[in-house]
A and B are shown apart, each in its own frame.
Chain A
Amino acid sequence: MSAIRLENLVKRFGAFTALKTMDLAVDDGEFMALLGPSGCGKSTTMNMIAGMERPSEGRILFGDRDMAGVAMGQRGVGFVFQNYAIFTHMSVRQNLSYGLRMGGRPKAEVAQRTGAIADLLQLGDLLDRPAAGLSVNILQRVAIGRSAVMEPAIFLLDEPLSNVDAAFRAVMRTELKQLQRQFRQTMVYVTHDQLEAMTMADRIAVMDHGVLQQVGRPLEIYNDPANLFVARFIGSPGMNLLAGLPLETAAGPVVDLGAIGHSPVLAPAQAAAARRARGAVVYGFRPEQVATVPPGHGMAMPVSFVERIGARTILHLGHGAQGAKAVFENDVGLSPGSMAHLAPIPAAIRLFDAETGVALRGT
């Protein structure tokens, strides 16, 4: 019923194409994140789902119903935007109950539903406070509550956490996820923050320059990025990507990484991927999936910088196109100027076509 289907969706603004032929199916009750940098088309997509923008081409279906010509107010969707629009002359309770009261719901029901959403969002103690004096954090919570209380079948959120502070954002991530688990709405969540998408979404649609790059579960996208853009964008820090050339050696297939030397011998799946390459490749591995090895057994890279962040150590290695990072959960005893000898975990290596940026897969 509240599944969303985007078919050949295109949006142009004059000569500028904001969205290029997008197909996406969001299941009923699914939490889908639209993730990408600014200008990638994610908000344009959301605005078309909401009915604020009309598609230049293609269709939007809710269930089997084509939404063309259906006005925004008739679509039965709830929204929350980055800039909360709270009535500051009203109390928290009046804000939360506004939609229900306007819809003429019985008083008892209004009180019951307002109370329930307030409890869920930890606004119970603030119900009679005027909205005017509340912090940005709390106002955004009220904005979410005001939409959620209507129990829309489809809930659209556009960067709802980008104005709240970091500690509060972590709390809100958990709350939003639980809200969705409880009400089972179909949720479309626009964000530029890969962390929010990874931690909350059932699936993520990664976008760049108006083009859908990949759709998948968070760990699918993290482990098997479809191309270099996704590999860089997902993860913190992003995937290490080194320019190289596949090479057969007596020991087995490797990737020649220029000044860094040869990669360790490729595992069978990666070797099969390397054989599909038509020329130069990009050798990718996650900063977390690296082990230190004795000299001569891995890649030798000079340490340029060491960040220690709590229990984590981030080593910055090499520079420029042959630069990489490695993350360790303890202090590995390396300092700037020293040489790090590292080997990525063989199964975690990903290869990309250097020309097209597309992932090379073994099978």
Chain B
Amino acid sequence: MAEIAFRHVTKRYGRTLAVDDASFTVADNEFFCFFGPPLSGKSTILRLILGLEKPDVGEVLIDGRVVNAVSPAARNIAMVFQNLALFPHMTAAGNIRFPLVERGVPELQIRARMADAAEKLHITHILHKFPGQLSGGERQRVAIARALVRDPAAYLMDDPISALDARLREETRVELKRIQREAGRTLIYVTHDQEEAMSVADRMAILEHGAIRQIGTPSQIYDHPATAYVARFLGSPMMNILTATRQGYSVSAAGAAIQLAAPDLTGIASLGLRPEDLRVSPWAGGTGSPATVIEVEPLGGHTVVTLEAGGTRLRAMLRGQPDIRVSAQVALTCDPARVHYFGDSGETLRPSHQGGSE
């Protein structure tokens, strides 16, 4: 059982603002993900939760209790680091049981918990092996099992699967999610991989320069980003954001190549188009924005096309394997309902009648 919260936490290292007035509440049993570029404050937030750092301002709470002065050991939170830190001279079993032996847990209980964790992680058959004999994925599971047997109130994981290759990451992230559900514990997770974050998180927080820019479910954030920064940060290829100007009843972008009926918004500075919301067809004059194909990247299931329209580059993601050639002239269209609009400082503009819930 652990609900973990920050109330207006700020942390500086010298003159660097690592965490800037962050407030959030991670619910009990939630899989919560912090996502942001390098140095955006992700790892500092984990260190503050663990108790390895103290906030300069604000409060860290566990289950409603302020723990600013509570030692890391007394917080009962288990951490899985990016570099796995398994003991090379111990078998997988020795590594997993180590934290329990240290705590003087009775042998029978150690065996039961280890068997349980090993089964959940499908590593029973490799318990007798040494880390050097294991693959990267197996070592990762052993490290997670070691955190699991401690039966902590919450787990923190700092980019735990970044060292694995792409195929193994796809499998392991699903396993992690399953393990978290079965273990029924709060899991706070840091990653730099947006696909991984969206896959595993119940909710996530997007960080920029130590400040939380948005908190929500992955779908909420993807579909309704609070700012242009957040919008670009989730999604691959990233959202196309184009400078836009309003002229009477229309909004134009990309050197007037893109013209849209103006929405009921004031202060439009730019517009955002998700690559998967763009459609491309052979240029026949008339409908759509004229564009030139710069690059075609076939991925099998879909195709990413880089286009130039009115001197601006943008990317479209098309389904399947369309026959599109470099330097072809095409017509670019999109569903007006799928266009995002941003103001001067990058804030998402919403029609006034929708209310401002963010």
Contacts and interface: CB of A to CB of B under 8 A. Distances in A.
Interface of A: 37, 165-167, 170, 173-174, 177-178, 192-195, 198-200, 218-219, 222-223, 233-238, 286-289, 305, 307-311, 314, 316, 327, 329
Interface of B: 37-38, 165-167, 170, 174, 177-178, 192-195, 198-199, 218-219, 222, 234-238, 274, 276, 294-295, 297-302, 304, 306, 319-321
A287 B301 CA distance: 8
A199 B299 contact: yes
Given A166-B192, A327-B301, 12 more contacts: A177-B295, A178-B295, A195-B166, A219-B321, A236-B166, A286-B300, A288-B301, A307-B199, A310-B234, A310-B236, A314-B199, A329-B319
Contacts of B37: 165
A223 B298 CA distance: 12
Contact of B198 (A37, A192, A238, A310): A310
A194 B218 CA distance: 26
A143 B221 CA distance: 37
Nearest to A192: B165
A311 B276 CA distance: 8
Nearest to B277: A311
Contacts of A233: 167
Interface residue SS majority, chain B: mixed
Given A165-B192, A177-B295, A236-B170, A308 B198 contact: yes
Contact of A198 (B167, B198, B237, B298): B298
Contacts of A234: 300
Contacts, number: 90
Given A37-B165, A198-B297, A219-B300, A305 B306 contact: no
Nearest to B177: A305
Contact of A310 (B166, B193, B222, B320): B222
A170 B299 contact: no
A222 B300 contact: yes
Given A309-B198, A329-B276, A198 B301 contact: no
Contacts of B237: 170
B195 A309 contact: yes
Contacts of B166: 193-195, 236
A309 B274 contact: no
Contact of B299 (A174, A198, A289): A198
Contacts of B238: 167, 170
Contacts of A37: 165
Contacts of B38: 165
B301 A286 contact: yes
B301 A305 contact: no
A289 B301 CA distance: 8
A166 B321 contact: no
A166 B194 CA distance: 9
Given A199-B299, A307-B199, A174 B306 contact: yes
A316 B301 contact: no
A288 B198 contact: no
A146 B193 CA distance: 30
A33 to B, nearest CB: 13
Q: Which 7 A-B pairs have the closest CB atoms?
A: A288-B301, A199-B297, A222-B300, A307-B199, A309-B198, A311-B276, A310-B222
Given A198-B299, A288-B302, A308 B276 contact: no
A272 B209 CA distance: 60
Contacts of B298: 198-199, 218-219, 222
A288 B193 contact: no
B236 A170 contact: yes
A288 B170 CA distance: 16
Contact of A305 (B178, B222, B236, B299): B178
A195 B222 contact: no
Contacts of B297: 173-174, 198-200
Contacts of A194: 166
Nearest to B200: A307
A64 B92 CA distance: 55
A234 B274 CA distance: 25
Contacts of A308: 198-199, 218-219
A81 B166 CA distance: 20
Contacts of B193: 166
A117 B301 CA distance: 34
Contact of A288 (B234, B294, B300): B300
Contacts of B195: 309
26 contacts: A165-B37, A166-B194, A170-B236, A170-B237, A174-B297, A178-B295, A194-B166, A198-B298, A199-B298, A218-B298, A222-B298, A222-B300, A223-B321, A236-B299, A238-B167, A286-B300, A286-B301, A305-B174, A305-B177, A305-B178, A307-B174, A308-B199, A308-B219, A310-B274, A310-B276, A314-B199
A309 B222 CA distance: 9
Nearest to A218: B298
B235 A310 contact: yes
Contacts of A195: 166, 299
A198 B300 contact: yes
A165 B194 CA distance: 12
A300 B5 CA distance: 43
